[in-house]
């Protein structure tokens, strides 16, 4: 069975590139382009990894991460965002993200 990854990213080009490359590597990939859809998908389907942007329409990535952790989700969360300040990283990790990667 292929691992399932959910990408929550509002930049269409980046979301498509990530989806295509991950599928090429054999992963099953879901994509949501806003925070509300991302939260709905994360609650409805089991995923092995969430790749989560911080700045999203609807709910932001921190709110999604926090809610999932409060609900007991142990799904690994990778924050992928343009916010690169040290304090942004600290807040993301303290909110429950497992890793934090800044966009180039």
CATH code of the domain containing 43: 3.40.50.2300
**Secondary structure of 40-67 as H, E, C letters:** HHHHHCCCCEEEECCCCCCCCHHHHHHH
| Residue 15 in this model has a pLDDT that exceeds 90 | yes
Split into its structural domains, the chain has a count of 1
Contact 15, 8 (CB under 8 A): no
Domain hosting residue 81, numbered range = 4-102
DSSP line for 13-40: HHHHHHHHHHHHTT-EEEEESSHHHHHH
pLDDT at 1: 66
| Residue 30 in this model has a pLDDT that exceeds 80 | yes
| Residue 89 in this model has a pLDDT that exceeds 70 | yes
β-sheet bridge partners, residue 81: 102
pLDDT digits (tens, 9 = 90+) for 73-85: 999 999 999 988 9
Enter the pTM of the model: 0.94
13 CB burial (10 A radius; 0-12, 13-18, 19+): exposed
Q: Name the token pair of 88.
A: 């942004």
pLDDT digits (tens, 9 = 90+) for 33-57: 999 999 999 999 999 999 999 999 9
pLDDT at 104: 78
């Amino acid at each position: 069975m292929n691992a399932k990854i959910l990408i929550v990213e509002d930049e269409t080009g980046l979301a498509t590139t990530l989806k295509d490359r991950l599928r090429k590597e054999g992963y099953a990939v879901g994509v949501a382009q806003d925070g509300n859809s991302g939260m709905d998908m994360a609650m409805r389907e089991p995923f092995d990894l969430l790749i989560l942007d911080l700045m999203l329409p609807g709910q932001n990535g921190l709110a999604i991460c926090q809610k999932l952790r409060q609900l007991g989700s142990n799904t690994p969360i990778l924050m992928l965002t343009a916010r690169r300040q040290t304090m942004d990283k600290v807040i993301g990790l303290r909110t429950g993200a497992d890793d934090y990667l800044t966009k180039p």
